[in-house]
Structure 1
Amino acid sequence: MTTVVKIGGARAVDPEGALSDVAALVDEGEDVVLTHGGSTAVDETLEELGQDPTYVETPGGVVGRFTDENTMDVFKMVMPGKLNTDLVESLQNLDVNAVGLSGTDGKLLEGKRKSAVRVKEDGKKKIKRGDHSGTIESVNADLLETVLAGGYTPVVSVPVLGKEKEGGYTAVNADADRAGAAIAGALEADLVVLTDVSGIYEDPDDESTKIDSASTPEAFEAVKSAAEGFMTKKVMAAEEALEGGAASVTVASANAETPISSALDGEGTTLEPGVLEDATEVER
């Protein structure tokens, strides 16, 4: 069984334990695909360049980044550049023969570019144009399986390859959680989403209310109701992963001593395919 691990890009996330855990799993003969976020690093780089990051809220209440042309240039520099290279370097120092890939390599992650997005501003629905983002529609699983079969550990980053309406491709931004979900679905893998909290809480401000697992549609409705802020997208990604064929999804803390192994052993919040039966469709 392959494990897909998504390491969050929040400032409070320390990847060191996860990388050591990847090395331990690979040493035991397990196949691991690592994906990563990087919104904090992108925001910091934009600010260093004198630009303000732009976030928008969809009519459904989901907050996300608006990626204009300048922001896209920074994404290309930071995500498959510095962040991906740093992770590959760290894994090589742990004797893991890692290979850095972006979603544009070999059409690894492909979808349609969204040149405009629907947003809610001052209570009104509007169309904001000039966006460089996309929704992933296909994963080149053969490429990942070939890399894994060769004894390498893929480290995957956005951007993805966005198809333009008039033909051709453009590198576009995509949500890193949903990229991990697409990969896990394509590989029928377990997905571990590592973040700066220990799971999904019934009360977002109280860690003691962590939901351990959900395996029925009713339980999953409770998870979706509890998710707020950044966790909303992680729950959306979890549903997409399970719909795509993932074996399970666990949201857990990146800062545990052995975060991936602990998540696979039941730490965090684990969602299983049974949650999909008659489940309510999430707004995308």
Structure 2
Amino acid sequence: MEPLVIKLGGVLLDNEEALERLFTALQEYRQTHKRQLVIVHGGGCLVDELMQKLQLPVVKEQGLRVTPVDQIGIITGALAGIANKTLLSWATKYQLTSVGLYLGDGNVVTVSQLSEELGYVGKVMPGDAKLLRILLDAGYIPIISSIGVTDKGELMNVNADQAATAIAQTLGADLVLLSDVSGILDGKGQKIPDMTAQKAEQLIVQGIITDGMIVKVNAALDAAKTLGRPVDIASWRHADQLTALFNGVPVGTRILA
């Protein structure tokens, strides 16, 4: 099987029970399967908490965090520091051999500034798979934060869904976006089993898909189109379903290419 990129999102990083479920599932999966895994994470909830403590404003535009120059260092510390090392500590607890990275390591992706208005927010493109291949072939699980760097050496805050998409493109890997919800929900709160670009567009116009979910769906549609294969959006809440998900069985919403 191709490698699998697992993007962790939502409040997972701030929820011990959720981390326990996830890492139990990862441990069980690694004991019985040889599929190579890469974890990509953001940590918006940690950043929001930190901003609140520091009494700094949190501004988002269409689900993307506006990142002024006086905040990029704080956000880097939260994502590449606290969030990344928290996940590495859980991996250690569950005997999973892992290594912590950020998007600039080994040029695994390339990052440029998305727009002046958003500040230090990066646009991400596929990069060089060499470092990840070395680590995966040696049995490591790379755990990668969504902080990147431009060719001018400027740190950038990258949307984690988009970062995971670019890494999947770099590796030619499958992609799963794990979030708080069991998939994309319709107007009645029911899970939609599969999603096309046309259906997504309709739901955005109707106001059913909003804010951060628009970014998530667009990232998944983009990845599915680029990779030429489906991308899954699913929940980390159901540990019993995660092994099936890691094996390519859809348990949430499957985004079709």
The answer to whether residue 48 in structure 2 is matched with residue 43 in structure 1 is yes
1:4 correspondence with 2:9: no
Aligned residue identity for 1:3: L
Report the CA distance between 1:108 and its aligned residue. Answer: 2.3
Structure 2: how far apart are the matches of 1:3 and 1:65? Answer: 27
Deviations 1:29-83 (A, max 9, x none): 111101112011011112212212222x3xxxx2321101222111111111111
Superposition CA RMSD, Å:
2.1
1:243 equivalent among 220, 225, 228 = 225
Confirm whether residue 25 of structure 1 aligns to residue 29 of structure 2: yes
The residue aligned with 1:109 is 109
SS of the aligned residue for 2:133 comes to helix
Structure-to-structure mapping, 1:54-133, within 5 angstroms: 54-55=59-60, 57=61, 62-114=62-114, 116-117=116-117, 131-133=119-121
C-alpha distance 198-188 of structure 1, shift in aligned 2 (>3 A)? same
SS in 2 for 1:237: helix
Q: Which of 175, 179, 199 is residue 191 of structure 1 equivalent to?
A: 175
In structure 2, what is the Cα distance between the partners aligned to 1:259 and 1:79? 27
CA contact (8 A) 1:189 1:248 kept: no
| C-alpha displacement of 1:22 | 2.1
User: Could you say if the C-alpha distance between residues 116 and 152 of structure 1 is closer, same or farther in structure 2, counting changes exceeding 3 Å?
Assistant: same
1:236 CA drift (Å): 0.9
Q: Conserved in 2, the CA contact under 8 Å of 1:108 and 1:141?
A: yes
Contact 2:108 2:167 (8 Å CA) reproduced: no
Q: State the 4+ residue runs in structure 1 displaced beyond 3 angstroms.
A: 216-226
8 Å Cα contact 2:10/2:180 also seen in 1: no
TM-score, reference length from structure 1: 0.80
Q: Deviations over 1:167-205 (max 9, x none)?
A: x221111100111111112222221111111111121xx
In 1, are the aligned partners of 2:231 and 2:255 still within 8 Å (CA)? Answer: yes
- Residue pair 1:185, 1:246 contacting (<8 A) in 2 also: no
Residue 256 of structure 1 aligns to which amino acid in structure 2? Answer: H
Distance 1:99 1:258, change over 3 A: farther
Structure 1 217/43 Cα, relative in aligned 2: closer, same or farther at 3 Å?
Answer: closer
In structure 2, relative to structure 1, the CA distance for the partners of 1:151 and 1:180 (3 Å cut) is: same
Aligned residues: 248
Aligned counterpart, 2:191: 210
Tell me how far 1:142 sits from its aligned partner: 1.7
**Measured at CA, do residues 87 and 93 of structure 1 come closer, stay the same or move farther in structure 2, by a change above 3 Å?**
same
Deviation at 1:107, TM superposition (A): 1.9
Larger radius of gyration: 1
Distance 1:254 1:116 in 2: 35
Report if aligned partners of 1:191, 1:246 keep a CA contact under 8 Å in 2.
no
Distance in 1 separating the partners of 2:4 and 2:256: 15
Flag the 1:132–1:44 CA change in 2: closer, same or farther, 3 A.
same
Aligned to 2:239: 257
Name the CA distance, whole Å, in 2 between partners of 1:109 and 1:235.
Answer: 21
Report which of the two has the higher share of helix: 2
Question: Structure 1 177/234 Cα, relative in aligned 2: closer, same or farther at 3 Å?
Answer: same
Partner of 1:281: none
